[in-house]
Chain A
Amino acid sequence: MSETEPPAILTVPAEARSFQGERAGIVSRVLANAIDLAILVVVLGAGYLGWSAWLFLRRGASFRFPTVTYQGTYIVGAIVLTLLFTVAWSSTGRSYGDRLLGLRVTNRRGDRLGFAAAFIRAVLCVAFPPLLFWAIVDRRSVQDLVLRTAVIYDWAEQPRGTPPSDPS
């Protein structure tokens, strides 16, 4: 370490340092996805209310709440979830569920995913959710095997391999 480089201080709590960087297990990943799904439901509900309010403003007295079909909800939900995952994994490497559970999605070098890789992984995860459960056997879902990605325990706030701050 050079003299000009500030000392690196590990901000991971002591109890989590022993497994920091290991692949996450199925329970953590399912819980994280459940939280993400709950957020998706909230987002969809908010979107539905917003859309209804817009229709109410447009139609006035003839306003009726729009009818929502299962197929339409699934398609819109899938698109929204894919966008949420893509933005989250390519920006911070973690969705909100991952953040709460202390997880991070990385590529095979341990770095953050690029936008294209994040989008492909999001499409595969949304289209084929049951493939996640291969992580019970291998701690890697089928999507991880195909894209050579990983979900790891990472309680640090900053992405792995980067200093807490850049003084330059």
Chain B
Amino acid sequence: MEDVSEVVRIPIGGGEEQPAAPQALSPPSDWFTLAARAAVGLVSLGAEASIQIIRMASGTPEHDQDTATPDTAALLVGAALGLAIEAVRTAATVAELGRRTAGPPASFLIGTVSDAPRRAAADLVDRWNQSWREERPEVEAAANAVAVEATRRAIDLVLDQLDLTQLVLDHVDIERIVASVDLNEVVEQLDVDAVADRLDIERVIARLDLAKLSLEVIERIDLPEIIRTSTGTVASESVRVVRMQTFGADRAISGLVSRMLGRSTTGEAADTDDLDATGE
């Protein structure tokens, strides 16, 4: 109950009607004052809600929070609530004064006279407490079920009124979120083979313009020039045979000369060492 004075109340409309704000008062002096303030606060909330409903029903446009002036009903309700708060505060002060003045003798008299009823009341409270403890699980379960169902319906009701997709688009920086994701790690966890197995390659190929692609490849590698040079290189099978035979004869003579001169026949590649650009 001590936290009641700390609650931040959210205005529900109507602008300036701020009836008897509890946070503007001094800390509560006792339970009576606190309870009175809570009651007045609840009345205030009810009154504001009622005013809002009346406005909606009557089609009165809602005032802007900053510029509008309070209407008559709000003004009267605010004034009444303020008066109630002041009355409560005065009553609390008078009651506190009376309690301090008549407290000790009254408590002695009451303690003496009311001992037997108090014990009876204590027994009654114990029985109630025992009964409560026995029924507590069932009651709590029922209460939980009701609370969960009520909460679910309330959330459904709220969500039905919201366009969550639009809210996310308006208020969430999706690019920042994506930038914080380690896509490499995600990709490493992917089973690419399984994805590839699910692909319909035939459909992908069917969408390609293979003829155009082939022409681009032919143009890029200059296939006509390759064909021309290749044809010139291997113009005739007989020419290739003659070349290979003369090459074999070259090798044979080189090997013979090398053996006659006592040179190593494996050093033929070294013959081209002084050619700076023989690296084919």
Chain A residues close to B by CB (< 8 Å): 6-7, 9, 11-13, 15-17, 19-28, 31, 100-102, 106, 108-111, 136-140, 150, 152-153, 155-158, 160-161, 164-165, 167
Contact = CB atoms under 8 A, between A and B. Distances in A.
Nearest to B280: A21
A25 B250 contact: yes
Given A16-B243, A31-B246, A100-B239, A7 B276 contact: no
Interface residues of B, number: 36
A165 B247 CA distance: 28
From B239, B240, B278, name the one whose CB has the most chain A CB atoms within 10 angstroms: B278
Nearest to A165: B225
Given A15-B244, A27-B246, A164 B261 contact: no
B229 A11 contact: yes
B249 A27 contact: yes
Interface stretch (B24-32, B199-207, B251-259): B251-259
Given A15-B244, A136-B253, A108 B276 contact: yes
Given A21-B272, A21-B280, A11 B254 contact: no
23 contacts: A6-B221, A6-B222, A7-B221, A12-B280, A22-B272, A26-B250, A27-B253, A28-B246, A28-B250, A100-B242, A101-B243, A109-B275, A110-B276, A110-B277, A111-B277, A136-B253, A139-B268, A139-B271, A150-B272, A152-B272, A152-B275, A157-B230, A167-B222
Interface in B205-247: 220-222, 225-226, 228-230, 232-234, 239-240, 242-244, 246-247
B278 A110 contact: yes
B116 interface: no
Q: Name A's interface SS.
A: loop
Interface of B: 220-222, 225-226, 228-230, 232-234, 239-240, 242-244, 246-247, 249-251, 253-254, 257, 261, 268-269, 271-272, 274-280
Contacts of B274: 108
CB-based closest 9 A-B pairs = A25-B250, A110-B277, A27-B249, A165-B225, A21-B280, A157-B232, A157-B229, A28-B246, A21-B278
Contacts of A22: 268-269, 271-272, 278
A137 B253 CA distance: 9
Contacts of A100: 239, 242
B231 to A, nearest CB: 9
Contacts, number: 108
B63 to A, nearest CB: 68
A137 B247 CA distance: 16
B246 to A, nearest CB: 4
Nearest to B227: A11
Contacts of B239: 100
Contacts of A25: 246-247, 249-251, 253-254
Contacts of B247: 16, 19, 25, 28, 153
Contacts of B250: 24-28
A140 B275 CA distance: 12
Contacts of B222: 6, 164-165, 167
B271 A109 contact: no
A140 B253 CA distance: 14
Contact of B276 (A20, A26, A101, A109): A109
Contacts of A108: 274-276
